[in-house]
Chains A and B, each alone.
Chain A
Amino acid sequence: MCSVGIAQAGTVTVLTSFPKELTSAYQKVFEASNPGIKVEILNKNTTASVAYVRELPEGQRPDVMWASAPDAFEVLARAKLLTPAPETVNKSAPAKIGNFPLNDPEGMYYGQALAGYGIMWNTRYLKAHKLEAPKEWSDLTRPEYFGHVAISSPSRSGTTQLTVETILQGEGWEKGWGQLLEMMGNAAAVTDRSFAVPDGVNNGQFGLGIVIDFFGLAGKYSGFPVDFVYPSMTAVVPANIALIAGAKNADEAKKFMTFTMSTAGQQLLFDPKISRLPILPYSTLKAPAGYPVPQEVAKRAKVHFDTNLAESRYQVVINLFDQMVTFRLKELQAATKAIHEADKALKAKPNAQGKDLLSQARSLAFSPLVGASNADDPQFLELFKKSRRDVAVAKELTGLEQMWADKAKSNYAKALQLAQQAKGMAK
C-alpha cells in the first residue's frame, strides 16, 4: 500500500473553504514556529465540508473547521460535531463588532476574521462603457448599469445570502425586495458560486459585482484594475474557526486555532493576496496605509444585523430569490429594460397616463411575491423548516414554489407589456 496511515499524531488537519494563498500562508508560518507539528489543509467548499464531516466516523474526522458562512457552523454545532475550545480565544479581541457578537454565544465557534459586503468594479470596464463608480446599493438600480452587474445566488453562496438579508433588514422587507429586484433587473448574470463574481469582475466579463469585501480588496491589492466600496447598508460579521468533535489531534489543533487568532496570525491577514479584516484592534497590529478599519465600517453601517431574524426566514429568502431572480433572470431583464426605456421616453415627453402605466409596470416587476406579513408569520415560516421527505410537505412546498415561478413569469410579462405601452404614449 502506497499511502499508509491517516494523519499521524502531530498533524493538524484543517478543513476549509478558504483560498489556497490564505491557507498556505498560515500553514507556513505556523509550521515554522511549531516544529514537530504538521498542518494538512483539506480544501472543500462549505457545503461539501459539512457533508464530509457528517459522513465520517469519530476519530477519522479532520480537526479544525475554518470558513466564512456562519450557518455551516450552526449546522455542525447542532449535529454535535463541534467542541468548545474557549482557551484558544485571544482576550485582546473585542467581544463585539458593531452589535454583532464576535464569538458564538454557545462557545462552539469563534470569530477569526471580519467581513463586510459591498460592490467591486473593474475600472477599465467602467471607463470603456463610460460608467461612474457606484457608492450605494441603490446606485445599482440606475438604468446606465443595465446588463453590467453580477451577483451569485444566495442559495449557493452563504455570503450573498448575508448581503441580501442585510439589504432586507436595512430597508425593510417590501422596500428591500423592491430595491433588490431593481438591482437584479440590471444583472448580467446570477452565478452559481460566490467566487465567479469577483473573478468575472477581475477579468472584465462583468463591470460590477456584489461581493464580500476581501474578494474586492484582494483583487485590488494583487494588481487587478478593480476597486471596492462599502455601501452604508452593510454589516460586518465574523468568519469563523472551530474545533471538530472527535478530532484526532485536539491539542495540536488548539495550538493552530490559537495561532490564527494571535497577533502574528492576525497580521497575516494584511497580505495583499489575502486582504481580510482582522478581529484585533489596529493598535496592536501594523495595518497598511489606507486599509479599511472594520470598526469604522461597522460604525458607519446603518444595519443592526439580526441573526435570528435572518435564520428564521432563511429558506423563504433563498427560495424566493431563486424563483424570482435566478430562474427568471431573462424575463426580469426584459421587463427592466422596457421600464428603463419607457422611463427615458417619458422624461423627454411627459404623459400622465404613460406615467401611470409605468408605475404599474414597476410595481409588477419589483414587488416581492411574499408580503411582509407573511414573512413574519411563524406559521408560514414553519412550513419551510419541515422535512421534505414527507410527501405532503414536499407537495405543499413545491406547489408554493410553482406558484411563485408562475406569478413571477406572468408579472414580468405584464410589466414588459405595460412599459412598452407607456413608452408608446410618450411619442
Chain B
Amino acid sequence: MFLLAFLIIPVCMVIYTAFVTETGSLTFGHFANFFGQTVFTESFINSVLVSLASAFFSSLIAVPLAYLTVRFEFRGALLIQTLGVLPLIMPPFVGAVALQLIFGRSGSVNLLLDEWFGFTVPIMDGLIGVIFVESIHYFPFILLNLVAAMRNIDGAMEESALNLGSRGFRLFRRIIFPLAMPGYLAGAALVFVKVFDDLGTPLVMGVTNMLAPQAYLRITSVGLDDPLGYVISVIMIVFSIAALWASARLMKGKDYATLQKGGSALQKRRLSVWEAVIAYGWIVLVLLVVLAPHFGILLMSFAKVWSFSVLPDSYTLEHYATVFNDSSNMIGNTLLYCLLSATIDVVIGTAIAYLILRTKLPARQWLDYMASVALAIPGLVLAIGYLRLFRDVNLPFTDTPVIASWVLIMLAYAVRRLPYALRSCMAALQQVHISLEEAAQSLGAGRMSVIRRVMVPLMAGGIMAGFVTSFITAAVELSATIMLVSRESQAPMSYGIYLYMQSVSGRGPGAALGVLAVIVVGLGTYFSHRFVERSRATVQSI
C-alpha cells in the first residue's frame, strides 16, 4: 500500500503536470481544439480500428495455440508455449524492422513472389501493416493468460459436460472457453490497450494517422509546451481505462471460481493421426509467421551486407564480437532491472487484486484505474515527470542523486508494467473460490497466513504469467529508458539495441544484441514456466 502510493504519486504528478501545462487555470478549450481537427478524429478512429483488429487477429493466433497445447497430449507443448512468448521479447521497433526485411516491399517474400509469379503482397503497408505487426507482437498476452486460466479449470466440470454428451467444439465453446474467460479477457484487454498506446510500430511503419504517433509528434516536434500533446495523452489514458473497465464489466456478476484446485486438471487427450497432422501443421505455420522477425534478426546478426536480396550476401561472426567487447554489461543490467521491477509488480499486483476482490474497501475500484493509468502514459512523459520529481533528491545513505542512478529506470519499468501484472493477478484470483480461503480461516489460519499459504499458491500460475509479461516487456522498454539513462555503464540492452540499430554502416551489432536479448529473456521465461509446473506439482501432492 505504501509502495503503491510511492509509485502512483509520480504518475499522478505527470497527469497533474499535463493539466497544468494546458493553462494556468483549468479550461476545456484545448479539448475543443482537439476535436476540431479532422487529423485527430481520423487518428482516433484509426487507433480504435487497429486496436480492435489486432485484438481479433491476436485471438485467432493465441486461442488455438493455447487450446491445443493445454488440452491435448502434445510433444513439446512447453516449448511451443515458450516460443509463443518470444515475440514479446523483441522491441516492437526491432520486430518491425526485421519484418520489413522478410515481408516488406523489397523483403525476401516479395522478392521471391516477384521472381516466381510477378506480383508482390503489400502486407506491410499502412494500417494493415500495423495490424499485422501488432498482432504477431502482442498475441502472447492472450496466450499467457489463457494458458494460465485453462490450467486452473476444474477437470470435473469437463467431465460432467462429457457425461452430459458435450463433445468437441461444443465442449470448447460452451464449457472450456467460458471458464477460461477471465484469462482471455485479461489478455485481450491488454492487447487492445497496448496497441492503442503503442508508438514504436506505427512510427517505424511510417503511419502517422493514429493517436500515439500524433501525441508523440506533438510533444517532440512542437515541444513539451504544446498542450495538444498532453490532451492526446489524457484522451488515451481515459480511453484505455474505459477499455479495461468494459472488460471488467463483462465479467461482473459471473462466477468463474472453481472449488477444486489441482486435484484433477483438464484431461489431456490424445489426437488421432489426422488431427495431429492438422494441429502440428497449424502450429508450425503460425510459429513460422510469428517467429519471422526472429529469423530476420538472426540472419541480420550474421550478415555482412543484406540489401535487396532474399538472403544476405555473406556471413560473419564479427557483430557478436563487437557486442561482447563493447556492451556485455548491458545484459546484466537488463536482468537486474527487469527482475526487480517484475517482482515489485507482482507483489503490488497481488496486493491490489486482493484489496479489490476480497475487501469492501471504499473506492477500491479506483486502485485498479489508477494503476492502469500507467499503461497509457507515454514513456517520455513519465520519464520527464521523474526527472522533475526527483530533481534534488539523493539516494538514501549516499550522496548520489537519484536521477543519476539506475533506480529510476527500474522504477519506471515497474510503474509502466504494473497494469500487466495486475490484470493477470486479478484474473488468477477470480478463479480462486473464496470458500477455499474461508475454509482455511475457519480452521484458524490468520489473514496473512491465508494469503501466504492458500491464496498465493493457488494463484501461482496467474502471478507467474504477470511476472513473465512484466519482465519481458520491461526488457524491451525504450522510450523511458532513453530519457533516464545517465551513463552508458548503466544502460540496459534495449538501449544498446537502439543505439547499434542507428548505424548506417550496418545494423549487425544491433541485431546480434537483439538475438542475445531474445535468448536471455527466453531462457528466463522457460525456467519460470518450469518453475510453475513444479510448483503445481507440489500443490497437487499436498
Contacts and interface: CB of A to CB of B under 8 A. Distances in A.
B8 to A, nearest CB: 21
Interface residues of A, number: 77
B323 to A, nearest CB: 11
Interface string A24-47: 100000000000000011111101
Contact of A405 (B38, B206, B307): B38
B376 interface: no
Given A51-B384, A51-B483, A192-B208, A389 B504 contact: no
Given A219-B505, A222-B506, A224-B307, A3 B38 contact: no
B483 A388 contact: no
Nearest to B305: A223
A45 B481 CA distance: 12
Contacts of B277: none
B39 interface: yes
A41 B33 contact: no
Interface string B259-282: 000000000000000000000000
Interface in A282-328: 318, 322-323, 326-327
A205 interface: yes
Interface stretch (B146-154, B218-226, B429-437): B218-226
A4 interface: yes
Contact of A1 (B203, B405, B506): B405
A389 B225 contact: yes
Contacts of A215: 504
B227 A3 contact: no
Nearest to B43: A327
A53 B101 CA distance: 36
A43 B501 CA distance: 12
A348 interface: no
B304 interface: yes
Contact of A394 (B29, B221, B391): B29
Given A24-B326, A188-B105, A388-B228, A6 B401 contact: yes
Nearest to B224: A51
Interface string A324-352: 00110010000000000000000000000
B206 A191 contact: yes
B228 A394 contact: yes
Given A204-B307, A394-B33, A21 B488 contact: no
Contact of A401 (B37, B206, B403, B406): B37
Interface string B25-49: 0010110111011110000000000
Contacts of A44: 482-483, 485
Nearest to A152: B206
B23 interface: yes
A95 interface: no
Interface string A173-193: 000000000000000111111
Contact of B38 (A124, A125, A388, A406): A406
B287 interface: no
A222 to B, nearest CB: 4
Contacts of B506: 202, 222-224
Interface stretch (B155-163, B183-191, B392-400): B392-400
B208 A398 contact: no
A402 interface: yes
Given A42-B485, A42-B488, A218 B406 contact: no
A426 to B, nearest CB: 28
Interface string B463-507: 000000000000000000011011111100000000110111111
Contact of B220 (A6, A47, A395): A47
A2 interface: yes
A389 B487 contact: no
A71 to B, nearest CB: 11
Given A52-B483, A124-B308, A222-B505, A395 B208 contact: no
Contacts of B490: 3
B404 interface: yes
Contact of A195 (B39, B208, B502): B502
B532 to A, nearest CB: 30
Interface stretch (A55-63, A81-89, A110-118): A55-63
B387 interface: yes
A273 interface: yes
Contacts of B306: 203
Nearest to A395: B33
Interface string B125-152: 0100000000000000000000000000
B247 interface: no
Contacts of B485: 42, 44
Given A1-B400, A44-B483, A402-B38, A223 B304 contact: yes
A156 B504 contact: no
Interface string B199-234: 000011010110001000100111011111000000
Nearest to A155: B221
B36 A5 contact: no
B84 interface: no
B306 to A, nearest CB: 6
B540 interface: no
Interface in A230-288: 272-273
Given A222-B504, A402-B37, A204 B406 contact: no
A372 interface: no
B22 interface: yes
B504 A388 contact: no
A225 interface: yes
A273 B322 CA distance: 14
Contacts of B487: 3, 6-7, 13, 40, 42
A387 B38 contact: no
A196 interface: yes
A394 B36 CA distance: 12
A51 B480 CA distance: 13
B69 interface: no
A60 B206 contact: no
A370 to B, nearest CB: 17
B522 interface: no
Contacts of A21: 503, 505
Given A388-B228, A394-B33, A202 B38 contact: no
A398 B482 contact: no
A25 B381 CA distance: 33
A79 interface: no
B217 to A, nearest CB: 7
Contact of A203 (B36, B101, B224, B387): B101
A136 interface: no
A55 B504 contact: no
B22 A190 contact: no
Interface string A395-408: 10011011001100
A122 interface: yes
Contacts of B504: 19, 195, 198-199, 202, 214-215, 218-219, 222
B535 interface: no
A43 B482 CA distance: 8
B174 interface: no
Nearest to A198: B504
A199 B204 CA distance: 11
Nearest to B42: A327
Contacts of A219: 504-505
Nearest to B386: A55
17 contacts: A19-B505, A20-B502, A24-B326, A44-B482, A44-B483, A52-B483, A60-B401, A190-B206, A202-B307, A204-B308, A219-B504, A222-B504, A225-B307, A272-B505, A388-B225, A389-B23, A405-B38
Given A202-B506, A391-B33, A394-B29, 6 more contacts: A3-B405, A6-B486, A42-B487, A124-B309, A203-B101, A405-B38
5 residue pairs, one from A and one from B, having the closest CB atoms: A204-B308, A391-B29, A222-B505, A273-B505, A155-B221
Interface of B: 21-23, 27, 29-30, 32-34, 36-39, 97, 100-101, 104-107, 126, 203-204, 206, 208-209, 213, 217, 220-222, 224-228, 304-309, 326, 380, 384, 387-388, 391-392, 395, 397-401, 403-406, 482-483, 485-490, 499-500, 502-507
